[in-house]
Amino acid sequence: MERDELVAQVLGTWRRHDEILAFLLDHIPAAGLTAIPAGSRGRTVAEQFAHIDSVRRGWLHYHETGQRARRVRVEKGKPPPRAQIKKGLNESGRKIAQFLERAMVDDARPRMFGRQAVRWMGYLISHESHHRGQVMLALKQNGVRLPERVALQGLWGRWIFGR
């Protein structure tokens, strides 16, 4: 496999993951954004998505500067609006892809993670998938059911079949 093809596959994997996260956010009913999983630390569904964006930005800042980023705290009881979350995730997802591409052609290196871009991407996907599971649990425990085309085909079928 040539380097360009490998870079394209890695970036395609990140973009597919990012697309699935956005797809889920788009299909959660407004009432579902305030759902909280039973026994959790208290993050609403909206706050879970905002946390993902915050962590992405924090790692990007750290990789670029070596400094820990100051996290923007979400005011408890006042989840950020969907449009704000979506805009943030779109931007941070795009910046992650740009950093990954630069790191794979030797123009940048992630700090930690063995300085390996794909390993860092694996961490991000794992972290975000954990929170996506918390989102799905919160919705289920609060009686918010997503249509099968969203819950199964949209979240899993996109990995398998793509577009």
pLDDT digits (tens, 9 = 90+) for 29-87: 999 999 998 887 788 999 999 999 999 999 998 888 877 877 666 666 677 899 999 99
Two tokens, residue 10: 């890695």
Given this model, what pLDDT does residue 76 score? 67
3-160: CATH class: mainly alpha
pLDDT digits (tens, 9 = 90+) for 100-136: 999 988 777 777 877 788 999 999 999 999 999 999 9
- Report pTM: 0.89
Cβ atoms of residues 11 and 145 within 8 Å? no
Cβ atoms of residues 143 and 34 within 8 Å? no
Half-sphere exposure of 37 (CA within 13 A, CB side): 16
